[in-house]
Amino acid sequence: MGGFTKMNGLAAKRGYTYRLTRRQFLVASSAAALAACAPAAVTPGASGSPSAAPGKELKIGQLLPFTGVYAELGNSMRRATELYLRQNDQKLANRPVKLIYEDDTNVTATGIQKAQKFIDQDKVDVMMGVVPTPLAYGIRNAVHEAKMIFIDTNAGGNALTRDTPDCKPACKSPYIFRSSFSSYQISFPIGDYLSAKGTKDWFLAYANYGFGTESKADFTTGLKKNGGNVTGEVAPPLGNADFAPFVTQIKNQPTKNVYSFFSGADAIGFIKTWNQLGLPAAGYKMYGAGFLTEQDVLKEVKDLANGAITSLFWAVELDNAENKKFVADFQKQYPLLPDVFAVQQYDGMRALDEALKKLGGDTSDKDKFSKALEDVTFKSPRGDFAFDKTTHNPIQDIYLREVKTTGGQTVNTILDKIAKVTDPGK
C-alpha cells in the first residue's frame, strides 16, 4: 500500500500544481498545528463527545483523475478544493480538514478500488469527486451500503439521482448528493427553449458514449415538446481524432442548425474542422451543450468559435457578486481562469461547509448529515444553489450564451436564462 500512496503523491505533484501544492502544504500543516492547539485551549469541556466530534480532523476523500484524458479536470477540481479551504482557514465549520486524493487513472475498476479504500482503510468522513459517469455508477452501491456521504462534483448520468427500476444502471441514495448537473438539465431545457422560439428542424452531432447519447435523447425530447424535429445525426466515437468525415456529412445535408455534444479535445477538433470546411460561410450555425465552448476549448480555438450558442449553468462572465469574487480569488491563486469543473467542486465544498455548520461539525449520524445537506441553500457563483430534496440534484438556472470576441478576448456572453431547472427524477 505504501507504493500506492507514493504513486499518488507523485501524481498529485504533477503539472503546475507542484509549486502551489508544496506551499499549500506548509500553510495547511501550520494551520492544522494551530487548530490542534487552539480548540484544546479554548474548549476543554469537549470531552465525552462522539468520535466524529467538533474540532477533530475532518477527512475528505477526493476521487479524481490526475492522469489520462481527464487529468486537467482533476487538476481544476483540486485547485477549487484548495482555494475554498484557503478562504476558510483550512477548516469546514469548526473542523480542520485533511484531504486525501486518489487518482482514478481514468479506469473504472481502479476508481472503484480507490473508493473502497476510502471507505475501509482511510475511513473518510465524506467522499467527493468522480469525473466519468460509469465510475459514479460503479461506486454507487458501495457508498450507499457504507452510508458514506458522497458529493458527486461532476459525473452527470441521470440515473445517479433518480429512482430507477431495479436500480439499473444506478439509482438515487439518501447519502449521495450532486453539486454539478444531470444530463437532463444540460439538454432538455435547451431543446424545449429552442423549439419554442420557432426553430423546429435540427441536425445532431454527438460523441458516441454514455453522456453524449443520454444528452441527445433528452435534447430530442425537449425539441419534440414543441413540435421540433431531428432531421439527421452523426455520432463520432469519443476521442475521435479526425472530424473531417463527420463535418463533411453535416455540410452535405440541408438542415442549417446543428446541435452538438462535445467537450475538450473533441470540441476543439469539431470547431476547427467546422471552420476549415467552410460551414459558417455555407450558412450553418453551431449550437451545443456548454462544454463545447468552455475555457479549455476557447483558449485554443479563439474566434473560430464566434457565433456558437451554447447552454450551461455557469459562465466566467456571469454577472453576480459571488462569481466575481470567485473568479478574482481563483485568478489570484492560480495563473488561469476557473472553469465550470472548478465551480462544481467549489459549490460541493460550500454545501458541505454549510451542512457541517448546522450540525456543529458532528458527522457521526449519517442520516442527520444527509438531512442537513438537503436543507443547504446559498448563493453560488452560478446563482442560487439548492439541492432538490427528492433527488439530491441541484436546482439551478440554465444560461444561454453566445461566443463573442471583443478586445482580443473570446468569451461566452449571456443571452438569456431558463430559471430553476429541476431534474424530473422521482
Q: Which residues bind another protein (CB under 8 A)?
A: 14-16, 67-69, 71-72, 75, 208, 234-237, 239-242, 244-246, 248-249, 251-252, 264-265, 268-269, 272-273, 276-278, 281-282, 296-297, 300-301
CB 213 within 8 A of CB 206: yes
When the beta carbons of 173 and 345 are compared against another protein, the nearer one is 345
Q: Rounded to the nearest whole angstrom, what is the least distance from the CB of residue 13 to another protein in the complex?
A: 9
Strand 95-103 with 58-64, pairing: parallel
Q: Rounded to the nearest whole angstrom, what is the least distance from the CB of residue 154 to another protein in the complex?
A: 16
CA gap 383, 314 in Å, rounded = 8
CA gap 296, 307 in Å, rounded = 17
When the beta carbons of 68 and 174 are compared against another protein, the nearer one is 68
Cell of 57: 480532523
Strand 309-312 with 285-289, pairing: parallel
When the beta carbons of 236 and 394 are compared against another protein, the nearer one is 236
Where helices occur in 360-411 by DSSP H, the ranges are 366-374
When the beta carbons of 272 and 357 are compared against another protein, the nearer one is 272
Q: Rounded to the nearest whole angstrom, what is the least distance from the CB of residue 5 to another protein in the complex?
A: 18
Q: Rounded to the nearest whole angstrom, what is the least distance from the CB of residue 294 to another protein in the complex?
A: 11
Angle subtended at Cα 154 by Cα 151 and Cα 160, rounded to the nearest 5 degrees: 65
Q: What are phi and psi of 91, to 5 degrees?
A: -130, 150
CA gap 359, 131 in Å, rounded = 28
When the beta carbons of 72 and 329 are compared against another protein, the nearer one is 72
When the beta carbons of 156 and 269 are compared against another protein, the nearer one is 269
Classified as helix, coil or strand, 336 is coil
Angle subtended at Cα 207 by Cα 201 and Cα 208, rounded to the nearest 5 degrees: 100
When the beta carbons of 141 and 333 are compared against another protein, the nearer one is 333
Q: Rounded to the nearest whole angstrom, what is the least distance from the CB of residue 57 to another protein in the complex?
A: 30
One-character DSSP codes across 222-270:
HHHHTT-EEEEEE-PBTT-S--HHHHHHHHTSS--EEEEE--HHHHHHH
CA gap 296, 231 in Å, rounded = 30
Of 406, 191, 396, 397, the residue nearest 298 (C-alpha)? 406
Q: Rounded to the nearest whole angstrom, what is the least distance from the CB of residue 326 to another protein in the complex?
A: 20
CA gap 413, 403 in Å, rounded = 6
Q: Rounded to the nearest whole angstrom, what is the least distance from the CB of residue 237 to another protein in the complex?
A: 5
When the beta carbons of 298 and 349 are compared against another protein, the nearer one is 298
Residues in the chain: 426
Q: Rounded to the nearest whole angstrom, what is the least distance from the CB of residue 142 to another protein in the complex?
A: 28
